[in-house]
Amino acid sequence: MSGDGPELLEAEDLSKSFGGLRAVDRLSFAVDEGEILGLLGPNGSGKTTVFNLIAGALPADRGRVRFSGRDITREPPSFRTRLGIARTFQLVRPLPNLTALDNVLVARLYGRGRSTALRTARDESLDLLSLFGLSQKATTSAHALTLAERKRLEIARALAARPQLLLLDEPLGGLTTTEVSAALAQFRRIQAEGITLVIVEHNVHAVRSLCDRVIVLNSGRLIAEGRPAEVLSRSEVIEVYLGKASRAALQ
């Protein structure tokens, strides 16, 4: 079940096991074009594995992934990137010895709708750095950036690939309150540009204010889906999924 718009991404009956552990268990959901979908759950619930299945970093044991109506279940990550799927990582992964500019430039040269002119790609990369407040760090090596700057760089790099769908894996982790507010504003601007977002995040207040819809996983299975305020008030989500200690955080 999805929202009211046309479906951009469909996951059907997805399963993935690691040895005897079923990380994703016959999971089905859809993402509507233009929405911000929250993918919620405790550590070990399968959220990042779902991202890996969508992005092609892991093969599914069973099930299907469709993007814009096209079956991409067996396609490699590079093909999915060219179609319009980009992602960030929970532990940011810039190219540490390259400058901030070169990190973005690589994605602009090799992503979807890639630029074949180096000067054009460089100008577009500088524009993205400016958008994320990194203009003054263009010539700084990625390993010398702060955590917040590396997170912004990773999102800028993902956007350089010109995605239709952006998968954000805990982009707010480790950020201050001020940095979280700035990041949420950036995510809304990205959505306003017509990019669909799926966000894994433990900051419940941010999810409540940002997401149009959320789905909740427990041991790889979908246990709740709907508008954030409604889903986050369900007893099974509070008690079973997020834990009793999280009750106060959800109020």
Confidence of residue 6 (pLDDT cuts 50, 70, 90): confident
**pLDDT for 198-237, tens place per residue?**
999 988 889 999 999 999 998 899 999 999 999 988 988 8
**pLDDT for 159-202, tens place per residue?**
998 999 999 999 998 888 998 999 999 999 999 999 999 999 98
Is the pLDDT at 24 greater than 90? The verdict is yes
Side chain identity at residue 22, one-letter code: R
Is the pLDDT at 239 greater than 50? The verdict is yes
Q: Identify which of 217, 218, 171, 215 has the alpha carbon closest to the alpha carbon of residue 190.
A: 171
Is the pLDDT at 112 greater than 60? The verdict is yes
User: What span, in angstroms and rounded, lies between the C-alpha atoms of 23 and 36?
Assistant: 24
Structure tokens at 165: 């769908």
Side chain identity at residue 137, one-letter code: K
| pLDDT more than 70, % of the chain | 92
Q: What is the pLDDT of residue 243?
A: 59
User: What span, in angstroms and rounded, lies between the C-alpha atoms of 67 and 73?
Assistant: 9
- Contact, 63 vs 73, CB < 8 A? yes
Q: Are strands 62-67 and 7-18 parallel, antiparallel or unpaired?
A: antiparallel
Q: What is the pLDDT of residue 245?
A: 46
Phi, psi for residue 7 in degrees, rounded to 5: -80, 125
Confidence of residue 117 (pLDDT cuts 50, 70, 90): confident
- Classify residue 136 by burial, with Cβ atoms within 10 Å: 0-12, 13-18, 19+: exposed
Is the pTM above the cut of 0.85?
yes
Structure tokens at 56: 């092609």
**pLDDT for 30-83, tens place per residue?**
999 999 999 998 888 899 999 999 999 999 999 999 999 999 999 999 999 989
> CB within 8 A of 41, min separation 6: which ones?
47, 216, 217, 218, 241
Q: Is the CATH code 3.40.50.300 the one for domain 1-84+164-251?
A: yes
The chain-wide mean pLDDT, for the chain, equals 90
The residue ranges of every structural domain in the chain are 1-84+164-251, 94-162
